[in-house]
Structure formats: structure tokens, C-alpha cells
Amino acid sequence: MSEFLVEFYLSRTDAAARGRSVRRARLAAEKQTRQGTPVRYLRSMYLPDEETCFLLYEAESAEAIRAILARDPWSETHLRIESIDAWTIRLDGRRS
């Protein structure tokens, strides 16, 4: 499985929007998994000064993530889906 980062606009004026977005992201991943395509919601990060939210998923493909987002009512706000490589920072500062 690979990790995918989803970036979308989220206004800082709606304080409850982040909670709703994270809840929807988690529920959408669970639903996709129940329907036979494993997708796991991992975490989110919100940057209020940038009005940007990031969702991190684990899935077999970007298409599985796109399928989640296409069904979601806020899919029009999605900016980008990127595959990311997992890596670890070692104590000596080198990537492994």
C-alpha cells in the first residue's frame, strides 16, 4: 500500500469545518474498505493561515482515493492528490 496526501481549501472562518472534514474523510475510507477497496485514513493537518487542509490516506492506488473524493459533497474543493514515499529520519540525520 502507498500513502497519498490530499490537499484542499478549508476556510478559517468556519471553526467546525475541520472536524466535519476529518470525520467525513475517516467515514469515506471505512465505506470504501467495506465495499472491497481497502483505504485507510491516517491523519490530517490544518494550516489556518493558508486555509489549507491535508488528509493522509493509505491505499493501493490514487484511483481509490479519487473514488472516495468523487462521492463526497466537498469534492469540488479538492486541489491535489499526491503519492508520497514513506521515509524515516535516523538519529544520524540520514534518510533510510
* CATH number of residue 53's parent domain: 3.30.70.1060
pLDDT at 72: 67
Q: Is residue 95 part of a domain?
A: no
Q: Is residue 92 part of a domain?
A: no
pLDDT at 86: 58
pTM score, whole prediction:
0.77
CA 56 – CA 4 distance, rounded (Å):
6
Q: Is residue 73 part of a domain?
A: yes
Indicate the number of domains in the chain: 1
CA 1 – CA 82 distance, rounded (Å):
14
Q: Is residue 60 part of a domain?
A: yes
Q: In whole angstroms, how far apart are CA 17 and each of 39, 43, 68, 70, 72?
A: 22, 16, 18, 19, 14
Q: Is residue 96 part of a domain?
A: no
- Give phi and psi for 30, each to the nearest 5: -65, -40
> For each of the chain's 96 residues, which pLDDT tens digit applies?
888 888 888 888 887 888 888 888 899 899 999 999 999 999 999 888 988 888 999 999 988 988 888 776 655 555 577 777 655 545 555 555
* DSSP H helical ranges for 38-82: 62-71
- What residue numbers bound the domain in which 25 lies? 2-84
